[in-house]
Structure 1
């Protein structure tokens, strides 16, 4: 069977392939960049299925590394645009794609950049985001991509299990916080599965989780996203305090915070962890001055 066949065993990277590629490139995964390479073909195909990648999708991928997930995405999607910050990995990935899936290589684009600095991508606008995000920058990268590319309808990210729980948390839970609220501004968020440590090289010290985000309209509000997010940041900076106290700096005084809360229909004695993104938007609307 030819490796140009997407289902060919040699099309995707296995453990030996990943280690051989890394050795040839002189690459050693670094903690600084949160690099843990997926070495299991079944896992990357599962991610593509869970992400519900379609044949007409233009998929953006952040942190493709050696290309394990990239190749699986190219089996299904119309196009894949991968954003890679590492000089060596960025230079090598197009050749890996050309060698493994030559019939799909023209549908692949590599953007050599820090994802946080990306303001646009070449080619058609992305319709999906699928990525194994580096643990140390997962939340800011996810929020930046969702803000920058409103055409992204569906997102599936693999992140540290603890981060996955925070992103998918609902009001009232102990892990509900800034990532939960801000992600919910853009999308309906849910946990979409767990990933064990043994599918990575090197194996991380923590488990991973999949998070699904389906784009939705943001809350109806006269406040801007930046104004709403400022309230969220203030509320959780001192999450043990009541909102009257936690928002006093944001509002200018405790009395002003209380006035904004009452006008928004929120108890001044409530805490941030109890509020929905819509309630944060209502508070932002009622700030005086």
Structure 2
């Protein structure tokens, strides 16, 4: 079975009894070159425990099975999960889970209950891409490497640099934990059915050093979420009217910004990831939470 052939993919889906669901973001990868780019960027070896999300018909799965030490595939569609189970159910290093991945990774006993994983490799359904990546980033058990296809607009927001038009919450939250790279834009003709949007291969590689403490990370999440809801305002005004944990007096704001070498007239999108970390830590120290 050639899973890169639109005709064969369509026939297999008919045999299984699946009609691609736009709500679930079911667009099946059918381009071998893009598949190779995805797999190459993940650099999977027998030392890796891999999580695949949205296994679909298995075009990514069949590559990961050969390379990974163990593979867990989470598939929400019952018929597709059954198809994958029929194909890989006898393989001792593969586990197929029929469930919603957003529910699976939010369980208190995940990933301990299932096979642990250090890499996530997937052609992500458009419907869950952003939320899933944010959940992983904000988790205390972050994977070492994430390589996924997502909507190009989403990939650009994660990988944007300070000052760019796409720079915002996703950029800051991901880049304070990961080195983030937009590996390649992916044309919509590489999928069937053809989506209305362009995709991109996004790579997040966990930084070995410089990880913020859990308390600082939570502070950055909260402070930036508030600040970017007022992104047209200057930081001095934002902090004077901030959420209770971070509200500080004007003279203290000036002292903190001067110490950090920053101007109080800056807007949220003009602060780099390191600026946000330094600002959050400084405010937490002033408020007695650092």
Determine if contact 1:125/1:151 at 8 Å carries over to the other structure: no
Q: 1:45 aligns with which of 36, 56, 77?
A: 36
2:95 equivalent in structure 1: 109
Determine if contact 1:258/1:268 at 8 Å carries over to the other structure: no
Instruction: State the SS of the aligned residue for 1:225.
Output: helix
Question: CA distance change for structure 1 residues 199 and 96 in 2, over 3 Å: closer, same or farther?
Answer: farther
Determine if contact 1:12/1:41 at 8 Å carries over to the other structure: no
1:3 equivalent in structure 2: none
Q: For 1:149-184, what per-residue CA distance to the aligned partner results, in whole angstroms no more than 9, with x for missing partners?
A: 636222111111111111111111111011101111
Determine if contact 1:40/1:200 at 8 Å carries over to the other structure: yes
2:14 equivalent in structure 1: 23
1:236 aligns with 2:228: yes
Instruction: Report deviation, 1:261.
Output: 6.6
Instruction: Report deviation, 1:218.
Output: 4.9
**TM superposition outliers: structure 1 runs of 4+ over 6 Å:** none
Instruction: Give the whole-Å Cα distance in 2 for the aligned partners of 1:218 and 1:179.
Output: 19
Determine if contact 1:237/1:246 at 8 Å carries over to the other structure: no
Instruction: State the SS of the aligned residue for 2:73.
Output: strand
Instruction: Give the whole-Å Cα distance in 1 for the aligned partners of 2:246 and 2:93.
Output: 55
Instruction: Report deviation, 1:91.
Output: 2.5
1:5 equivalent in structure 2: none
1:259 aligns with 2:252: yes
Q: 2:274 aligns with which of 272, 278, 282?
A: 278
1:195 equivalent in structure 2: 186
Determine if contact 1:15/1:40 at 8 Å carries over to the other structure: no
1:268 aligns with 2:268: no
Instruction: Give the whole-Å Cα distance in 2 for the aligned partners of 1:24 and 1:258.
Output: 70
Instruction: Report deviation, 1:26.
Output: 2.1
Determine if contact 1:153/1:215 at 8 Å carries over to the other structure: yes
Moved more, 151-160 or 168-177: 151-160
Alignment map for 1:48-197 (pairs within 5 Å)? 48-97=39-88, 105-117=91-103, 118=105, 119=107, 120-121=110-111, 122-148=113-139, 150=141, 152-197=143-188
Q: For 1:182-235, what per-residue CA distance to the aligned partner results, in whole angstroms no more than 9, with x for missing partners?
A: 111220111111211112111011111111111014544584322210011112
Question: CA distance change for structure 1 residues 273 and 14 in 2, over 3 Å: closer, same or farther?
Answer: same
Determine if contact 2:76/2:99 at 8 Å carries over to the other structure: yes
Determine if contact 1:126/1:151 at 8 Å carries over to the other structure: no
Give me the CA root mean square deviation: 2.6
Question: CA distance change for structure 1 residues 88 and 262 in 2, over 3 Å: closer, same or farther?
Answer: farther
Question: CA distance change for structure 1 residues 242 and 180 in 2, over 3 Å: closer, same or farther?
Answer: same
